[in-house]
Structure formats: C-alpha cells, structure tokens
C-alpha cells in the first residue's frame, strides 16, 4: 500500500483507527496515522514507534508506556515525560495507533 491514501487503510482499521492486525503495519501507515493525529514524525517519534514494533514482534504484546519511556531515556537522555510531549493525547491514543498496535482493552502507563 505504499503511497496509498488514508482511505486505502479503512478496511484494515477499527472504528477508532487502530489496525485490526498489527502485521498490516508499514511506515506509510505510520505517516498517515500520525498525520490524522496532527503529529509530524521526528527521529524521536520513529525511535519510539520502531521500539514498539520490535517489542510487539518479540513479546507478542504491546509494550507498556514505562518501557517506551526507558527506551527514550536510553536513546536520547530524555526525561520521563518526553513520551507524553511526543504523543500529547496519550500513549494509547497516539503512539499505539501510529505503531500499528491493536487498541488495548486495559492499559497501565507504568
């Protein structure tokens, strides 16, 4: 679906815009989802998204926000709240959606 418009993803997403199957994710999807959320993806955003994708692939579950926070600190020396500056409407609402995770039913922000 490279270069496809957002509408091309509609059948692959739930009513809130989360992918139904994380395996359908691509960087094009991330750009589209980020644009819908009003986020311009920076190096830090991509680092979090790629970390989340790798975690999902290895553990078969989405990482808690605390692990993404630790990743940002290790990679960029970022403070704990940097994750929420990057994704101001929330880790689940924005980061999980952009990274192609299914919408979590219950969530802990660590």
- What value does the mean pLDDT take over residues 73-91? 96
Judge whether residue 91 has pLDDT over 80.
yes
From 43, 50, 88, select the one nearest 68 (Cα to Cα): 50
pLDDT digits 0-9 by tens, 20-47: 999 999 999 999 999 999 999 999 999 9
Q: What is the C-alpha radius of gyration for the chain, rounded to an integer number of angstroms?
A: 13
From 107, 89, 93, 99, select the one nearest 23 (Cα to Cα): 99
Task: Map out the domains of the chain with their CATH numbers.
Answer: 6-98 (1.10.10.370)
- Identify which has the larger pLDDT, 74 or 110: 74
Q: How confident is the model at residue 54 (pLDDT cuts 50, 70, 90)?
A: very high
Q: How far apart, in whole angstroms, are the C-alpha atoms of residue 38 and residue 107?
A: 23
- Identify which has the larger pLDDT, 40 or 1: 40
- What pLDDT is attached to residue 105? 72
pTM as predicted: 0.87
- What pLDDT is attached to residue 53? 97
Q: How far apart, in whole angstroms, are the C-alpha atoms of residue 107 and residue 110?
A: 9
């Amino acid at each position: 679906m490279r270069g496809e418009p957002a509408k091309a993803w509609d059948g692959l997403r739930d009513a809130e815009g989360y992918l139904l199957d994380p395996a359908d994710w691509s960087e094009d999807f991330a750009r589209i989802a980020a644009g819908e959320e009003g986020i311009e993806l920076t190096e830090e955003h991509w680092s979090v998204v790629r970390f989340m994708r790798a975690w999902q692939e290895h553990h078969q579950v989405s990482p808690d926000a605390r692990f993404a926070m630790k990743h940002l600190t290790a990679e960029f020396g970022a403070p704990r709240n940097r994750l929420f500056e990057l994704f101001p409407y929330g880790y689940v609402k924005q980061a999980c959606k952009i990274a192609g995770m299914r919408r979590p039913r219950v969530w802990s922000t660590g």
